[in-house]
Chain A
């Protein structure tokens, strides 16, 4: 078989974006392999998701069972292990998400799979998919090949591909769960929503974002002043919220919020992919960073390569003048 399997990801009643992104990527790979794209959906009463993913796949394997009401990496691992044995696809794609990274490496160990994580595209060599991923915060690309026999396993980076309109009408096949009983060594207890602060950055029109380059807390007033002039809200990279310069609900990126403001001013942010994934939907992106190689410039509309401590105060002053 030369099929590409994709594990559909959903949470709290929502199909997550990564699912269709993976299916889009998988369709391209399956075409080269001469196989089909098969979505694997585990859930309880999620028929609408089956319907949705069928528009992007040749077949949907749907296990509708209360056992999968909530995500549990251990249960998912058991099911996927069994499906790999039964269906023998060439490649299984799982999201490089908090769900995927919690499960895929264990599945790879259990089934002795060639496994590559955080893949964002595939090149092909003699008809074989070669995953491409990154090292060193996105500064280096790496081609890492699978060795040995399929099935291969890859976790796929979020926001790596654009999802188009549905172009397929895959059949939805309900199958019985290979896992018959609940497990007791790891139990899902609950979700806890983040405390919502005074500002919801997902709704902001203009965002001033700070990163590691701001260096320390005492430099924040400089950025706050700029934000004030722009009538912008402040947000930041993981480094900025970890350092306590901003509350955690202001974090932009895969482990934080996805934002789509009209204007996004990135100050001292190098642009690790986790951050980029959360802000590349902004209409206009301005980046100020002293490292010309910083990946943020790949996403930016305007780039200023310079010492932010020299640029930002002047920018604030000039804006004040211009805005009267």
Chain B
């Protein structure tokens, strides 16, 4: 136990914490729940109560948005303490059934949605696309994301990327059925062993392709591959970076008008975690007829949609307004016709909120690739 405790303190550098409270002060979910991340950092110094802390329901309220880490003056990552506590439950097998099923599904089928691996490419059924072969040179290897490939509402995102890249004459290929969960949410759910396995297997798989760079669609995949795969031998970019480049180089032209007021919601995993703020705005600014407006809380201060941190599988017990509801109300106040997102989870949570608030007539949530699909000629 002694060594295990030391590793917990050391792993999260708990002694580095000065208890300034900037983490909790910035934590977006505190308006809804009792989560006080500063206290968890402090309390975790006590070896005897780690187990007890792990059993507190609020450790599951964290959305892994990383605001606490961004704000920490000591460069600590308080959210990782919560994830470490989740890990105690995971290692004991004591997670709720939805989390269990998602993790088992990743282990068996390579995705958290309990879908067969064999159905992973169904979204591309009617498209003429290239599947990468090991060793064969390819400019851009596309990593689609489990949520986009299986959710019928989101498949259009990947389908539009194909249209756009074809139109721009880009050399690209997909991974096919072998594409396996990036592990971002696996890590956030505290399943470190499974995450390590995915990193190992994915590194081997992806390195077998002779790709110059990998293009991710989901910011969650982006951050996982960019920051957590040290042995990956290729550049990792988010598609907004690639598409921004194509627009800048005039390889892609947006010719059709989308006459809408658009507000962009910065995904936590793209913006505050990886500082990709300008590319999405550059793309949206290039859409003919579109008027781009900004949330008050934008860029580093963007409000989390509560879609990450494993929250797709864990419901927060709170009757207070969802952050995604707040967000769509803010978008409505700006009279935006489109709430633009660049993340599948943001799309799901915000779209739910538009329906919950009854804003369907006035506005819609759209992934940037969906809007781009309307802005290019076929």
Interface residues of A (CB under 8 A from B): 216-218, 243-244, 307, 313
Contacts and interface: CB of A to CB of B under 8 A. Distances in A.
Q: Number of contact residues on B: which range applies?
A: under 10
A241 to B, nearest CB: 13
A85 to B, nearest CB: 49
A119 B291 CA distance: 66
Main secondary structure of the interface of B (DSSP, over half): loop
A161 to B, nearest CB: 36
Interface string B151-174: 011000000000000000000000
Nearest to A242: B97
Given A244-B97, A313-B355, 8 more contacts: A216-B98, A216-B313, A217-B98, A217-B315, A218-B315, A243-B97, A307-B152, A307-B153
Nearest to B358: A317
Contacts of A307: 152-153
Main secondary structure of the interface of A (DSSP, over half): loop
B114 to A, nearest CB: 9
A313 B352 CA distance: 11
Nearest to A244: B97
Nearest to B101: A216
Contacts of B98: 216-217
Interface in B312-326: 313, 315
Contacts, number: 10
B151 to A, nearest CB: 10
Contacts of A216: 98, 313
Contacts of B97: 243-244
10 contacts: A216-B98, A216-B313, A217-B98, A217-B315, A218-B315, A243-B97, A244-B97, A307-B152, A307-B153, A313-B355
A317 B152 CA distance: 23
A106 to B, nearest CB: 34
A285 B153 CA distance: 28
A313 B153 CA distance: 16
Contacts of B313: 216
B328 to A, nearest CB: 16
A244 B96 CA distance: 12
Contacts of B315: 217-218
Contacts of A217: 98, 315
Contacts of B153: 307
Nearest to B355: A313
B42 to A, nearest CB: 31
B345 to A, nearest CB: 15
A307 B154 CA distance: 13
A307 B153 CA distance: 10
B344 to A, nearest CB: 15
* Residue in A216, A244, A313 whose Cβ sees the most chain B Cβ within 10 Å: A216
A216 B152 CA distance: 18
A217 B317 CA distance: 12
A236 B51 CA distance: 36
A218 B315 CA distance: 7
Contacts of A313: 355
A243 B97 CA distance: 8
B316 to A, nearest CB: 10
A216 B314 CA distance: 10
**6 shortest A-B CB distances, which residue pairs?**
A218-B315, A216-B98, A313-B355, A307-B152, A217-B315, A243-B97
A248 to B, nearest CB: 16
A228 B265 CA distance: 35
Nearest to A313: B355
A218 B313 CA distance: 9
B93 to A, nearest CB: 18
B19 to A, nearest CB: 35
A243 B96 CA distance: 11
A217 B355 CA distance: 19
A307 B155 CA distance: 14
Interface string B37-61: 0000000000000000000000000
Nearest to B314: A218
Nearest to A219: B315
Contacts of A218: 315
A142 to B, nearest CB: 23
A244 B98 CA distance: 12
Contacts of A244: 97
Nearest to B113: A215
Nearest to A310: B153
A140 to B, nearest CB: 18
Nearest to B98: A216
B105 to A, nearest CB: 12
Contacts of B152: 307
A189 B44 CA distance: 51
A52 to B, nearest CB: 45
A252 to B, nearest CB: 22
A243 B100 CA distance: 13
A223 to B, nearest CB: 15
A12 B315 CA distance: 44
A217 B152 CA distance: 21
A216 B99 CA distance: 11
Interface in B46-100: 97-98
Interface string B93-118: 00001100000000000000000000
A53 B74 CA distance: 83
A320 to B, nearest CB: 12
A266 to B, nearest CB: 21
Interface string B279-306: 0000000000000000000000000000
Nearest to B316: A218
A154 B97 CA distance: 37
A244 B315 CA distance: 15
Interface in B124-168: 152-153
A188 to B, nearest CB: 34
B178 to A, nearest CB: 26
B101 to A, nearest CB: 9
B210 to A, nearest CB: 39
Contacts of B355: 313
Nearest to A216: B98
A151 to B, nearest CB: 43
B132 to A, nearest CB: 31
A279 to B, nearest CB: 26
A122 B373 CA distance: 56
Nearest to A317: B358
A243 B153 CA distance: 25
